[in-house]
Amino acid sequence: MNPQPRHYVYKLEYDTGLAPCVDEDLWSLAVCKPAIRRRARKDDWVYGFAGNGNGCPLVFVAQVTEVIEKGDYYRSRRYAGHKDAIYRCRAGKLVPKRKGCNDSAHKPQAKDIGAPPYAAARVLLSTDFCYRRPAGAGAGSPRATAAPTQSPGQPPSPPPTRQPAPPPQAPAAERTVEDLRDLPF
C-alpha cells in the first residue's frame, strides 16, 4: 500500500528555466531545492509559487512520476540535452559540463550532487504537471507552457475542453492538475 502523497512548496525567486526545468513533455528538478529533492518520492506533489512579484502566484504544479537516484540522470544520454543536466561523468566522477555553468540563481555543486556515491544527486521527474510562465517573465523562463500528459497504458484522452475552474471553496486536496489547467494564470 502506497503512503499518502506528500506536498512540497517551492518558492521561485527567479525563473531561469534551470530549476525546475521544462523540456518538451518533461518537468525535472535536478538542481537547487536539495531538501525537496532529498525527501520527495513518487506520487508526491510539488507546487511552485512566484516569490518576486512576477504577478502569477502559482507557477507550477507537478506530481512526481519518477525519481532518479545517485547521479544516473547526468550519466544518461536521454537527459544529456536538458538545460538542468549541467554535470557529466568523467573518469567515474560527476563534474560540471563547462566552467562557470552555474548561473546567478544556481550555486554550489555540493548541494546538487554531493560527494561520491552522489546521494544528493537525486532528480525528480514529472510527466503529470502544469507549468505556467509568469506574466512578464524574461527569456530565462521555460520555452513553453506544458500540460499534463496521459499515463502509459491508458487509452488516449479526448481533446481538452474548456471547463470552469473549481469553486473557490473547494478544498485544495480535491483539486487536480486537470483543474489547474483552466485557471487564469
Q: How far apart are CA 9 and CA 46, in angstroms?
A: 6
Tens digits of residue pLDDT in 6-48? 999 999 887 888 899 998 899 999 998 999 999 999 999 999 9
Number of domains in the chain: 1
Q: How far apart are CA 82 and CA 18, in angstroms?
A: 9
Q: How far apart are CA 72 and CA 122, in angstroms?
A: 8
Examine residue 95 and state whether it is found in any structural domain, yes or no: no
Examine residue 114 and state whether it is found in any structural domain, yes or no: no
> Does 102 have pLDDT greater than 80?
no
Examine residue 75 and state whether it is found in any structural domain, yes or no: no
> Would you place residue 97 in the very low, low, confident or very high pLDDT band (cuts 50, 70, 90)?
confident
pLDDT at 147 (0 to 100): 36
Domain span at 31: 7-69+122-152+160-181
Examine residue 56 and state whether it is found in any structural domain, yes or no: yes
Spatial contact of 20 and 27, defined as CB atoms under 8 Å apart: yes
Examine residue 91 and state whether it is found in any structural domain, yes or no: no
Examine residue 93 and state whether it is found in any structural domain, yes or no: no
Examine residue 23 and state whether it is found in any structural domain, yes or no: yes
> Would you place residue 143 in the very low, low, confident or very high pLDDT band (cuts 50, 70, 90)?
very low
Spatial contact of 5 and 41, defined as CB atoms under 8 Å apart: no
Average pLDDT for 86-94: 90
pTM over 0.85: no
> Would you place residue 157 in the very low, low, confident or very high pLDDT band (cuts 50, 70, 90)?
very low
- DSSP codes joined into one string, 109-127: HHHHT-STTTTT--EEEES
Q: How far apart are CA 34 and CA 17, in angstroms?
A: 17
